[in-house]
Amino acid sequence: MALLTASVWMHSVVGWGSLAAALATASVAPDLVASLEAGWLFGAVPLLVTAVLLAIHLRRPEVGTALALRVIGAALALYGVLCVIRYDGNLFFVVFIVMGGGTLLAAGGGSRTLARVP
């Protein structure tokens, strides 16, 4: 789990910092840099979600699929909201909010769990 968390940090902060500096040196257009940044930082989301789900599973292995879907849905929706804010209201990122919301709806509410896949 520590390795996954370190990977998130290395990928999103260190990796993007190095790439952003190289792009600035190469005088790459700002809109292209913004597009690359959004895609690059999205790569950190599955790493972080995997670390969170692994931590939950190691502490509470009886927790079912519904919680996993809630974590994934929340991560997608949060990524979408942050990108809309970060990229000046670019509505492209609403797709992540919709996917996250749909995933949260699929997970259902309350304490019910979804059927486990054998």
Q: Where are the alpha helices (DSSP H) in 1-118?
A: 2-9, 16-25, 30-42, 44-59, 65-86, 94-107
| Cα 31–Cα 73–Cα 13 angle in degrees, nearest 5 | 45
Q: What is the pLDDT of residue 21?
A: 92
Predicted pLDDT of residue 2: 76
pLDDT at 80: 93
Note the pLDDT tens digit of each residue in 66-94. Answer: 888 888 899 999 999 999 999 999 999 99
Q: What is the rounded average pLDDT for all residues in the chain?
A: 84
- Please state the domain extents for the chain: 1-61, 64-118
pLDDT band per the 50, 70, 90 thresholds, residue 116? low
The pTM for the full model equals 0.71
> pLDDT tens across 2-56, in order?
777 788 888 888 888 899 999 999 999 999 999 899 888 887 888 888 888 888 8
pLDDT attached to residue 28: 95
Residue with tokens 């940090």: 9
